[in-house]
Amino acid sequence: MTNLFEDNLNSYEIIWKIPSHGKTLVNQQDNQIFKLSKNKENVLKIGIKDLAKYPFLTEAGEYLANTGLSLEQLSHPDWKPIVEKAYGRIVVASSGQIYGSDLESLDNDSELLSFIVAIILLKSAGIATLIRRFSLAEARRSERFLQQDLWVSRDKKNLELPLKIIQDLFAVKVSIDNDEFVIKVPDYLQRAVHFHEKEWKLVNRRVTNGFVYLSAHETVRLIRAELGEYINGKIQSVNIQSIPQGFKQRVEDLVILAKKFSDTTFVSSEYPPCVKHGIEVLEKGENLPHSGRFLLATYLLSKGQTVDQIAPLFKNAPDYNERTTKYQLEHISGSSGSGTKYQCPSCEKLRSESLCFATSDCDGIINPIQFGKKRKNK
């Protein structure tokens, strides 16, 4: 018996179970896919449309338990459209795009099931890069719904679900004050410290009585990285012991797809803190300001990396476009445009842009490309 997801949200608990063998996706004792908590106090009634928006919620287990579907049933040719939808969902995510859902016209059961099957395909293929890309893309997909739900519900005073998701998953209590959302200063600072745009600095926010005022978009933007990590953690916890026959072809296709991403940028532990930080931001799918991207490009070019080696680094950026990225990198490298090769910005300039994360290893250097040289020369 292996767990698909195992969660414990306050007093509410559902354990999603998937067997390695057998006729059904069962819990061996009670012959059901999911073991449901007896304590259902504080459980929100969530409809299938909400679960299609937020398929990572533990509450999705209750719905799926009622379907009585087994892993083997899902691998039967009758369910091929779901497997294809799941595969398509991964392919879209791997290209850095967000899988689109028209919840008004689409079959919401297939939205939820394709998410589950996508996880089984990903875990069967076992490729961390694909799992990370899928987690980020699904986080950004759900982020859109969360933002809509906060905004639309605001007038209807029906904020229970979006606020519960934010509170249960990320321990952030969000309240509403007229048209705005408010969170405690420490909750804000803990997350906003990772953003570099000036508008996220506390001095540029409206703060009253220890609370920060935010728009719906800003509220959800604050928890984007955590949402991606949450989904990634869920997927990592899945243990698939054998791949159902009907999934094998698509699992093999994923292995081939992943080869596209094997040509990744070389990341050295010898890079200065500002460069390491920029790479980490991009790896999390966070938005790195243009000045941060310029730093990475000029630094890595100065270290002898090629445009083709550097370009994959930007694939997780929320606004990634392959052609534009290569064009800009070629321009910075001097291989196109005016032919001018741009130099890495100085530490002073990076400090003024809040992109310096100096440690004692920086040792008074004035440009990141000097990082490490002083120590070697001592």
Helix, strand, coil: what percent of the chain each, to 5? 55, 10, 40
| Min CB(369)–ligand SF4 separation in Å | 9
- Structure token digits, residue 324: 């534009």
Contact call for residues 295 and 344 (beta carbons, < 8 A): yes
Contact call for residues 23 and 70 (beta carbons, < 8 A): yes
| Min CB(276)–ligand SF4 separation in Å | 9
**74: closest CA among 85, 63, 90?**
85
The whole-angstrom separation of Cα 170 and Cα 56 is 14
Beta carbon nearer to ligand SF4, 262 or 377: 377
Contacting ligand SF4 (CB under 6 A), which of 113, 118, 329, 350?
Answer: 350
Binding mask 273-292 for ligand SF4 (x = CB under 6 A): xx------------------
Span of 15-23, 240-248, 336-344, 350-358 interacting with ligand SF4 by CB under 6 A: 350-358
The residue whose two tokens read 């896919």 is: 33
The whole-angstrom separation of Cα 176 and Cα 164 is 13
| Min CB(332)–ligand SF4 separation in Å | 18
Beta carbon nearer to ligand SF4, 73 or 291: 291
Contacting ligand SF4 (CB under 6 A), which of 52, 371, 373, 374?
Answer: 371
CA 256 centroid distance within chain: 22
SS3 state at 35: strand
Identify residues 239-278 at the interface with ligand SF4 (CB under 6 A). Answer: 272-274
| # residues near ligand SF4 by CB under 6 A | 12
Contacts of 168 (CB under 8 A, 6+ apart): 9, 10
| Min CB(371)–ligand SF4 separation in Å | 5
Span of 108-116, 132-140, 262-270, 353-361 interacting with ligand SF4 by CB under 6 A: 353-361
| Min CB(343)–ligand SF4 separation in Å | 14
For 71, list phi and psi in degrees, rounded to 5. -60, -40
The whole-angstrom separation of Cα 94 and Cα 308 is 18
Binding mask 291-330 for ligand SF4 (x = CB under 6 A): ----------------------------------------
The residues that touch ligand SF4, with contacts defined as CB under 6 A, are: 272-274, 347, 350, 356-358, 362, 365, 368, 371
